[in-house]
Amino acid sequence: MVFIKTSYFLNKALDNIRQNPFVNLIAIGVIAISFLIFSTFLMLFSNLNSLLALWEEEIQIELFLDDNLSGEKIDALQKKILSMANVKEIRYINKEEALSSFKKSIPGMDVLVKDLNNNPLPASFEIKLAESSKSFDMVKAAAKKLSTIDGVNDAVYGQEWVERFSTSLAIARLVGLIIGAFLLMATIFIVSNTIKLTVYTRKEELEITRLLGATDRFIRLPFFIEGILQGLAGSALSLAGLYLAYRIFIIKVSSSVQASLVTGTFQISFLSTPTITYVLFGGMALGLFGSFISLGRFLKV
Amino acid sequence: MVFIKTSYFLNKALDNIRQNPFVNLIAIGVIAISFLIFSTFLMLFSNLNSLLALWEEEIQIELFLDDNLSGEKIDALQKKILSMANVKEIRYINKEEALSSFKKSIPGMDVLVKDLNNNPLPASFEIKLAESSKSFDMVKAAAKKLSTIDGVNDAVYGQEWVERFSTSLAIARLVGLIIGAFLLMATIFIVSNTIKLTVYTRKEELEITRLLGATDRFIRLPFFIEGILQGLAGSALSLAGLYLAYRIFIIKVSSSVQASLVTGTFQISFLSTPTITYVLFGGMALGLFGSFISLGRFLKV
Amino acid sequence: MIEMYHVYMAYQRDANALEDINLKIEKGSFVLLTGPSGAGKSTLLKLITCQEKATKGQILVGGRNIVRIRHSSIPYLRRNTGIVFQDFKLLNKRTIIDNVSLPLEIIGKSRKEIKHKAWNVLKMVGLQHKIASYPLQLSGGEQQRVAIARALVNDPAILLADEPTGNLDKENSEYIMELLRRANTKGTTIMLATHDKNLIENYHYRVVGLEKGKIISNG
Amino acid sequence: MIEMYHVYMAYQRDANALEDINLKIEKGSFVLLTGPSGAGKSTLLKLITCQEKATKGQILVGGRNIVRIRHSSIPYLRRNTGIVFQDFKLLNKRTIIDNVSLPLEIIGKSRKEIKHKAWNVLKMVGLQHKIASYPLQLSGGEQQRVAIARALVNDPAILLADEPTGNLDKENSEYIMELLRRANTKGTTIMLATHDKNLIENYHYRVVGLEKGKIISNG
Ligand SMILES: Nc1ncnc2c1ncn2[C@@H]1O[C@H](COP(=O)(O)OP(=O)(O)OP(=O)(O)O)[C@@H](O)[C@H]1O
Ligand SMILES: Nc1ncnc2c1ncn2[C@@H]1O[C@H](COP(=O)(O)OP(=O)(O)OP(=O)(O)O)[C@@H](O)[C@H]1O
Ligand SMILES: [Mg+2]
Ligand SMILES: [Mg+2]
């Protein structure tokens, strides 16, 4: 067999693109838009995730302690709790601190407290759980377990809010994954079908080339390369568009609202470099896939 | 001029679809998927909105009253506040109710309260604002205004949570609108370009028909009808797909989590009938638009 | 019926496909247009139906100057003209009878009349048994006869036939020529481009000879 | 070179396009295939390149039975066969020279050799001044000559020419016949389908006559 250089097929693919500017522009445009939808979603989803993670940070369990525990006992308790698998952080709050923060928390409280002859507020631990243990069920279970520890009077964790919040998180993530999977499939569908149409416009050319003695490989290779190039161009365009939108729009909006969103600082970020790479490779793979499934039916002569 | 029946063009359009099953199936498929993305978004967005509205319900301002106000004074105050433009609901909580709910709210509190010789907690009003006044700024302003009323000691509204929550709402809605607009444009782009490709595959047919003496109108009308039919089929398919997904999937998921999401009952709902109508008409309009912009370049002979 | 005055046509800037064509085709006449490959025969026919625009000169068809005709008037010009294209230009997605029906559909004839006429003309060219076939299921000569049938179905005032017998055997050619002769007798003005020396010799029609875009014989 | 034994071919169940064809074409011979429109000439040629499959019978090409050839082997069969298609089958998006280069590209010749050979063969058919044009910018006869050039560029062992002179005037036809004769002299086996009585009379090649799918004369 005669050796045929790869550069020949690359040139052929570029020729094809040049010879069919109309269909190629449309294909690349449609691929770009599909990927723009998908990568916009990726960006929103990853930012939403970071934001939720920040908020999750703040879920904590308060552990009210029995009165009259000795300092050693408290130290031992603290060590014991911290050594539990899902506890990340623990902070001790003594009776005085509890009272003073209590005074601040409800207006008019100082009047009430003034009249007290002794401090009725218990000392407590503030406990932050590990990332992986922040679902409502796990917080609940952890609180229950903690409350049975000897020396612990009660465990409190803002039941209602935590429940609602962590459920929202779970839903948001689930919905996000479902939407992501759906968008991915939609992108694959749209891109591969668009490529199918572009191949279809060249049905005759394919048939003639085959009648002149071309092997399937000879016919396919330029189309595969063309598909890869279309996919690359489309996904690169989508990233460029998204980045532009991110610069001129999202940053502006976010800077005006982010301050109030979280206690810490939260910066809406662009897609990470690995994600960008995935998107580009995804574009190429999809272009290749699109050409691949399109060509079969036209190589029957 | 000879009279040509509309039914002729409808038949012609149906013939065209039958004669080009491959490109038509692809076009309808792509339109369906694009619309599926868009109408999925519509459904999520409208449900999110309902959910947020439910949550918003719960934002309220607590107004602590001076001690020793007379019953008439309190009645007068209540009427006055209720008559304010943005107040929707008001509930009076007397000192005893305040104390008993206080006892329940923090464990170990009964110990503290037991020692009291008089009830130090103030009476209060719980105020719900009108729908339109629930942005953080408006709640803040309302609280400030309410706190200056004679007989009112302090106004409290869970500053931090309300702020974060209402900002989230605003962002969610803004992002939703932006995404919606973007998806709409993307759908228009994808659909019209797909139709362009299908028209392109019939370039020759168009040219020949024109060479045989057909007017532009004669050539265009079947394409317009075909575009409308494609758009209708595509959007109807997307709605059917969405409804199916809604039945077998979303309802299942939601029933397992919705209970915990809100205090009241919240049911994920399908698109409203007007929205369904809009989507179908949108499909037809878009199909027409797609054919319209595609045909120009092929009628030059 | 067709008059040309100093007509020039150039596809590219430097090369004239037609040069200084002066031609008068009387109503009801039958003219053969001959010349070697690339002489400009097809180009000349294309000018008459506004498929191409003359670079210079005036062209009258049925008394009307078509050089600066509006885009929207072109269809009405073409409806009076039957064209047999050199490359047939059949619609591959339509059956033979639908192809032949098209010119009648375009002018809005009734369904019944269309069917009747299309069938008749297909029978005339000997293809009544192929009406439900598609163009790509026909032999070259059969396709050519479909193209002829489509051009005739409309009883056009002018018939422009570009090499209509190139894919036909002698018997079929003679038969097609007889069909054209009959149409001509009924009043159709015919211009037929051909290289077929037999046609030129056997039929004593007026012959216009083209070479390199110029008329070299006319009579 | 080409042998057919009891070959039947039916596009539709009921109608045979070819019936009981028995034919032996010697290596290096020049055979004219004639018959009226729709006789089955093109179909016969299509069988030889596996464009269509015979319904029954055996076909040997170069000693190899191609009736049950694998899909992946067909290209190699076609590389030894030059085909002039009745409808040309040029690639409209490629220039003339690129069209003619295609068979050489397919077998992986070097760029230089391709250019050289394509240019030579286009010069032979008198189109060296059109190499940069696209097929739709050529006259019918010019397109036909491009199709002939493409079939010859590869010095094929077999040349199947389907009505290669239908759009050509007498001079060009004779010239093309001379080209084919020369190819034949250099060893190419040629089958040429035609209705052109002049060809049959002027050249004393073997003539195979088809009618309604059957061989009615052979010699
Ligand atoms: N679309 C075009 N663009 C550029 N040049 C063209 C175009 N169409 C035809 N030509 C050139 O114009 C000249 C005349 O072409 P035309 O088709 O009129 O020839 P013809 O007499 O019909 O020849 P044939 O007998 O081969 O059909 C030829 O040299 C051809 O290459
Ligand atoms: N793809 C097809 N499907 C169905 N029938 C076909 C097909 N191709 C050809 N035929 C029929 O087979 C018969 C022989 O066709 P073929 O093309 O071989 O004729 P031919 O001898 O080449 O005629 P011509 O001189 O007109 O080109 C014709 O009746 C034709 O209608
Ligand atoms: Mg011509
Ligand atoms: Mg044939």
CB contact under 8 A, B2 and C91: no
Band (pLDDT 50/70/90 cuts) for residue A161 is low
- pLDDT higher than threshold 50 for residue C185: yes
What pLDDT does A88 receive?
83
DSSP C169: -
Residue identifier of the C-alpha nearest atom 14 of ligand 2: D40
D62 touching C (Cβ < 8 Å): no
What pLDDT does D200 receive?
87
**3-class secondary structure per residue, D62-86:** CCEECCCCCHHHHHHHHHCEEEECC
Instruction: Report the C-alpha gap between C76 and B79 in whole angstroms.
Output: 82
- pLDDT higher than threshold 80 for residue A164: no
Q: What mean pLDDT comes out for the span C88-114?
A: 95
Chains D and C touch (3+ CB pairs under 8 A): yes
Instruction: Report the C-alpha gap between B187 and A34 in whole angstroms.
Output: 9
Band (pLDDT 50/70/90 cuts) for residue B70 is confident
C51 touching B (Cβ < 8 Å): yes
- pLDDT higher than threshold 80 for residue B107: no
Instruction: Report the C-alpha gap between B156 and A106 in whole angstroms.
Output: 9
List the structure tokens of C76: 């009405």
CB contact under 8 A, A154 and B108: yes
Amino acid letter, residue B174: L
Three-class SS of residue D91?
A: coil
Tens digit of each residue's pLDDT (9 = 90 or more) over C6-58: 999 999 888 899 999 999 999 999 999 999 999 999 999 999 999 999 999 99
pTM (two decimals): 0.85
Among B2, B19, B205, the residue with its CB nearest the CB of C107 is B2
C38 touching D (Cβ < 8 Å): yes
Three-class SS of residue C200?
A: helix
| Weakest-pLDDT range from A35-44, A154-163, D53-62, D127-136 | A154-163
Residue pair B234/B271 in contact by the 8 Å Cβ criterion: no
* A/D interface, count of CB pairs below 8 Å: 50
Burial of C21-52, coded b for 16+ CB within 10 Å and e otherwise, reads bebebeeebbbbbbbbbbbbbbbbbbbbbbbb
CA atoms within 13 A on the CB side of D25: 30
Amino acid letter, residue C118: A
For the Cβ of C65 lying below 6 angstroms from any atom of ligand 2, the answer is no
Query: What are the boundaries of each domain within chain A?
Result: 2-55+163-296, 60-156
Instruction: Report the C-alpha gap between B146 and B215 in whole angstroms.
Output: 73
Residue identifier of the C-alpha nearest atom 7 of ligand 2: C137
pLDDT tens for chain D, 219 residues: list them. 999 999 999 998 888 999 999 999 999 999 999 999 999 999 999 999 999 999 999 999 999 999 989 999 999 999 999 999 999 999 999 999 999 999 999 999 999 999 999 999 999 999 999 999 999 999 999 999 999 999 999 999 999 999 999 899 988 999 999 999 999 999 999 999 998 888 888 888 999 999 999 999 987
Closest-CA residue to C83 (of C188, C197, C168): C188
Query: What are the boundaries of each domain within chain C?
Result: 26-50+73-218
Cα dihedral sign, B25-B27-B30-B34 = negative
From the number of C-beta atoms within 10 Å of its C-beta (0-12, 13-18, 19+), residue D84 rates as: buried
C139 touching D (Cβ < 8 Å): yes
Query: DSSP strand E in A49-86: where?
Result: 60-65
* Cα distance from N-terminal residue to C-terminal residue, chain C: 17
From the number of C-beta atoms within 10 Å of its C-beta (0-12, 13-18, 19+), residue A18 rates as: exposed
Instruction: Report the C-alpha gap between B139 and B137 in whole angstroms.
Output: 6
For the Cβ of D166 lying below 6 angstroms from any atom of ligand 1, the answer is no
List the structure tokens of D159: 């040349």
Report the alpha-carbon angle C157-C159-C163, nearest 5: 175
Tell the residue number behind the tokens 């995730």, with chain if given.
A49
Average pLDDT over chain B reads 82
From the number of C-beta atoms within 10 Å of its C-beta (0-12, 13-18, 19+), residue D191 rates as: buried
**3-class secondary structure per residue, D95-106:** CHHHHHHHHHHH
- pLDDT higher than threshold 80 for residue A167: no
Dihedral pair phi/psi, residue D187, rounded to 5°: 115, -5
Q: Cβ neighbours of residue B241 under 8 Å, at least 6 residues apart?
A: B32, B36
Instruction: Report the C-alpha gap between C158 and C9 in whole angstroms.
Output: 22
Band (pLDDT 50/70/90 cuts) for residue A263 is very low
Tell me which H or E stretch contains B242.
Answer: helix B216-245
Instruction: Report the C-alpha gap between A51 and A265 in whole angstroms.
Output: 10
Instruction: Report the C-alpha gap between A71 and A66 in whole angstroms.
Output: 12
Residue pair B230/B195 in contact by the 8 Å Cβ criterion: yes
Instruction: Report the C-alpha gap between A177 and A172 in whole angstroms.
Output: 9
- Assigned CATH for A60-156: 3.30.70.3040
Q: Which residues of D touch A214 (CB under 8 A)?
A: 75, 106
Mutation probe of ligand 1 site: the residue of C7, C8, C11 with most atoms within 8 A of C-beta: C11
Q: How far is D193 from chain C (nearest CA, A)?
A: 11
Burial of C59-88, coded b for 16+ CB within 10 Å and e otherwise, reads bebeeeebeebeeeebbebbbbbbbbbbbb
Band (pLDDT 50/70/90 cuts) for residue B113 is low
For the Cβ of C42 lying below 6 angstroms from any atom of ligand 1, the answer is yes
Give Cα B4 to chain centroid, integer Å.
45
What pLDDT does B47 receive?
85
DSSP per-residue letters across A115-151:
T-SS--PPPEEEEEEPGGG-SHHHHHHHHHHHHTSTT
Q: How far is B203 from chain C (nearest CA, A)?
A: 11
Among A8, A205, A211, the residue with its CB nearest the CB of D78 is A211
Report the alpha-carbon angle A204-A208-A213, nearest 5: 150
Q: How far is C49 from chain B (nearest CA, A)?
A: 8
Q: Cβ neighbours of residue C110 under 8 Å, at least 6 residues apart?
A: none
* Cα distance from N-terminal residue to C-terminal residue, chain D: 17
Q: Count other C-beta atoms under 10 Å from residue A177's C-beta.
A: 11
Tens digit of each residue's pLDDT (9 = 90 or more) over B249-286: 766 766 665 544 544 566 778 999 999 999 999 999 99
- Report whether CATH 3.40.50.300 matches the domain D26-50+73-218: yes
Q: Which residues of D touch A24 (CB under 8 A)?
A: none
D167 conformational bin, left if phi > 0, alpha if psi -120 to 50, beta if neither: alpha
For the Cβ of C194 lying below 6 angstroms from any atom of ligand 1, the answer is no
Q: Which residues of A touch B173 (CB under 8 A)?
A: none
Among C11, C145, C172, the residue with its CB nearest the CB of D137 is C11
Rounded to 10 deg, the angle between the A136-147 and A159-200 helix axes is: 150
Closest-CA residue to A113 (of A123, A99, A93): A99
What pLDDT does A60 receive?
78
Three-class SS of residue C193?
A: strand
- pLDDT higher than threshold 50 for residue B2: no
C95 touching B (Cβ < 8 Å): no
Instruction: Decide which of B58 and D90 is more confident.
Output: D90
List the structure tokens of B192: 């019209």
- pLDDT higher than threshold 50 for residue C126: yes
- State the closest ligand 2 atom to the C-alpha of D43, by its place in the atom list counted from 1: 18
Q: Count other C-beta atoms under 10 Å from residue B216's C-beta.
A: 16
Q: What mean pLDDT comes out for the span A73-100?
A: 83
Tens digit of each residue's pLDDT (9 = 90 or more) over D120-141: 999 999 999 999 999 999 999 9
Look up the ipTM and state it: 0.88
Residue pair C22/C14 in contact by the 8 Å Cβ criterion: no
C53 touching B (Cβ < 8 Å): no
What chains are in contact with B, requiring at least 3 Cβ pairs below 8 Å? A, C
Looking at all shown ligands, the one closest to residue D127's CA atom is 1
Instruction: Decide which of C181 and B9 is more confident.
Output: C181
Cα dihedral sign, D43-D48-D51-D52 = positive
Q: Count other C-beta atoms under 10 Å from residue A129's C-beta.
A: 23
Using CA coordinates, name the residue in chain C closest to D39. C139
